[in-house]
Amino acid sequence: MLSQKSRQALDTLKEYSPYIDHYQTSKRSAVLVALVANPEGELEVILTVRSSALRTNAGDSAFPGGKKDPEDADLIATAKREAFEEVGLPISEPEFLTSFPPILSRHMQVVTPIVAFCPHLATQDVRKKLYPNPGEVVAIFTAPLESFLSPNPPECHESFDMDWIFSPHRIHRFERCGRHNFLLGQPDGQSSSTGYREAKKAASLGALATRVEEGMPSTFSPPTLPLPEELENSGTGKVEEDEEEEEEAGRAVDRSKAGWPVYGLTASVLIEVATVAYQREPDFEVYAPGQMIDQDKITEWYNGKYGPSARM
């Protein structure tokens, strides 16, 4: 049963007018912000860990989602189809609430967040009724929606500012997400230990990619970019090596300690959705001083650089 706060949050999202954008591109993508109730009646969001074998965003924590197919009636259909393909969420399950303004990925893809509630799925069902597509997803987990306004503990959140497009931009990162409720992928013939190692490898590769790639808002890059060999010798790497050694020695690793980081594009969307749903500001500053948040101006910039007129 949903709590009163959760019912109010869903009602508020339903009343949020879907954003109509004017991006001049036929190349569209959508992600599904799928909300479910936990045993206390509070809202959590379904997230995935992308496979380390994927060509883009390997190892990232992300929403189910992808590019719009010609057969998709609209972006809502795209988001639902992708969620079914990636985690087995039945297409009929998510009830559309609203859509949020598109965001630009690191590859300048126009990505529309589709927010939906799953009334017949609870957090405890994730490990029973969903399944990771072994070619794309190595883990599924849930995280409390309100934790992206009030991280618990506060040290689990960090941010830094960088220049992107034509203004400063604040990048947010939330650590140790999903520790309480997750499902690791186990392709045919793969043991749970191997599945966990694959998930850890994906998370490690995702962290590495976010540190060495040129600055884009969907990555998390610290102000001082360490070289790959420096990362391999960092404290984080040592912890992962120790965990792998324990696995190889036959000792069980506590999978509920590390969780996964949620950062960049995914974190920004969750902050915005939670802010609207709960009608309050986060416990931290969301935007960098002078950050451009005017959607019309961002759209104008994109169309001028990537729209039809820019290719003439």
CATH number at residue 131: 3.90.79.10
267 inside domain: yes
Cα–Cα distance, 176 to 137 (Å, whole number): 18
From first to last of its 312 residues, the chain has per-residue pLDDT tens of 899 999 999 999 999 999 889 999 988 999 999 999 999 999 999 999 987 665 565 567 999 999 999 999 999 999 999 999 999 999 999 999 999 999 998 888 999 999 999 999 999 999 899 999 988 898 999 999 999 999 989 999 999 999 988 899 999 999 999 999 999 875 433 434 344 444 445 544 444 333 323 333 333 333 332 222 222 222 333 334 444 444 444 443 344 678 899 999 999 999 999 999 999 999 999 999 999 999 999 999 999 988 887 665
Cα separation, 125 vs 155, in Å, equals 29
Q: Structure tokens of 285?
A: 């500053």
Say if 300 falls within a structural domain.
Answer: no
- Where in the sequence is the domain holding 179, given as residue range(s)? 4-294
Torsions phi, psi for 123 (to 5 deg): -60, -35
End-to-end CA distance of the chain: 56
Q: pLDDT value at position 137? A: 92
With respect to residue 309, please indicate whether it lies within any of the assigned structural domains: no
Radius of gyration of the chain measured on its C-alpha atoms:
19
Structure tokens at 235: 């404290």
Instruction: State the burial class of residue 255 (Cβ atoms within 10 Å of its Cβ: 0-12, 13-18, 19+).
Output: middle
Check residue 204 and give its pLDDT: 46
What's the confidence (pLDDT) of residue 54?
55
Residue 280 main-chain phi, psi, to 5 deg:
-155, 160
DSSP 80: H
Q: Amino acid letter at 81?
A: R
108-146 residues labelled b (16+ CB within 10 A) or e (exposed) = ebbbbbbbbbbeebbbeebeebbbbbbebbbbbbbbbbb
Tell whether 307 is covered by a domain. Answer: no
299 in a domain, yes or no? no
Query: Number of folded domains in the chain?
Result: 1
Cβ partners under 8 Å of residue 54, min gap 6: 136
Does residue 107 fall inside a structural domain?
A: yes
User: Taking Cα atoms as reference points, which of 118, 108, 124 lies closest to residue 79?
Assistant: 118
Q: Is 85 exposed, middle or buried (0-12, 13-18, 19+ CB in 10 A)?
A: middle
Is residue 124, in this structure, part of any structural domain at all? yes
Q: Is residue 153 reached through a cis peptide bond, with omega within 30 degrees of 0 on the bond before it?
A: yes
Q: Is residue 92 part of a domain?
A: yes
Residue 275 to residues 150, 164, 272, Cα–Cα distance (Å): 11, 23, 5
- CA angle, 176 as apex, 174 and 181 as ends, to 5°? 120
Q: Degrees (nearest 5) of the Cα angle 158, 281, 206?
A: 30
